[in-house]
């Protein structure tokens, strides 16, 4: 797997967008869907993520402890079929970017064939960009948008990095590992 920092461009790609903290089962479903589409069309899957959790810039005192560092994220991404991981620096400028500008910059970096996102994916200033905005942008610029539904636990809870962190804090490690779908590296 190739790691790309910030502005490197590329040819036609399927993009998987997200923070991917923990690369948990919900993220894995997203990556598998993106990989399947990429395989069917003979192109590469590029996961796009930030170098830090957005809250580390927006509200540092509320920034969560990361489930995975960049090294672990890279290992899991490769295991789950990602061809390229684009690590974008998250800064105050990124946080203040209008959703339309975020999409324009993304399209400048690669020839987007398809985008895969989770059901709750937001982007741009104030999280104002959402799946519907992404779908409209895809129609205008000729790429497909796959919005994946939430992945749930056997008890019906939506798997998220926040829920996994909560289970770990409660000492419910087995439940956290089940949601992750892989082992956890402690630092």
Instruction: State the chain's mean pLDDT as an integer.
Output: 92
Residue 47 domain flag: yes
Q: State how far the Cα of 68 lies from the Cα of 73, in Å rounded to an integer.
A: 6
CATH code of the domain containing 113: 3.40.50.620
Position 164 scores a pLDDT of 96
CA nearest to 164, candidates 156, 153, 154: 153
Residue 21 domain flag: yes
- Residues 78-116 have pLDDT tens digits of 999 999 999 988 898 989 999 999 999 888 888 999 999
Residue 120 domain flag: yes
Residue 53 domain flag: yes
Q: In this structure, what token pair is assigned to residue 101?
A: 């500008």
* Global pTM value: 0.91
Residue 179 domain flag: no
Residue 59 domain flag: yes
51 phi/psi in degrees, rounded to 5: -75, -10
Q: Which domain holds residue 88?
A: 2-151
- Residues 161-185 have pLDDT tens digits of 999 999 999 999 999 999 999 987 6
Residue 168 domain flag: no
Domain count, the chain: 1
Q: What percent of the chain has pLDDT over 90?
A: 72
Burial class (CB in 10 A: 0-12, 13-18, 19+), 1: middle
- Residues 131-160 have pLDDT tens digits of 999 999 999 999 999 999 999 999 999 999
Residue 174 domain flag: no
């Amino acid at each position: 797997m190739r790691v790309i920092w910030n502005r490197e461009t590329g040819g036609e790609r399927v993009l998987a967008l997200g923070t991917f903290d923990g690369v948990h089962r919900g993220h894995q479903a997203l990556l598998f869907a993106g990989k399947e589409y990429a395989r069917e069309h003979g192109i590469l899957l590029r996961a796009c993520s930030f170098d830090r959790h957005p809250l580390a810039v927006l509200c540092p005192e509320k920034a969560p402890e990361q489930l995975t560092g960049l090294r672990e994220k890279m290992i899991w991404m490769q295991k789950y079929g990602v061809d390229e991981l684009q690590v974008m620096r998250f800064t105050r400028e990124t946080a203040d970017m209008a959703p339309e500008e975020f999409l324009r910059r993304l399209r400048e970096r690669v020839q987007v064939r398809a985008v895969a996102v989770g059901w709750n994916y937001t982007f741009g200033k104030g999280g104002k960009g959402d799946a519907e905005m992404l779908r409209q942008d895809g129609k205008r610029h000729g790429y497909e948008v796959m919005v994946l539904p939430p992945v749930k636990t056997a008890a019906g809870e939506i798997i998220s990095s926040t829920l996994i962190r909560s289970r770990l804090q409660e000492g419910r490690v087995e439940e956290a590992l089940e949601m992750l779908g892989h082992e956890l590296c402690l630092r």
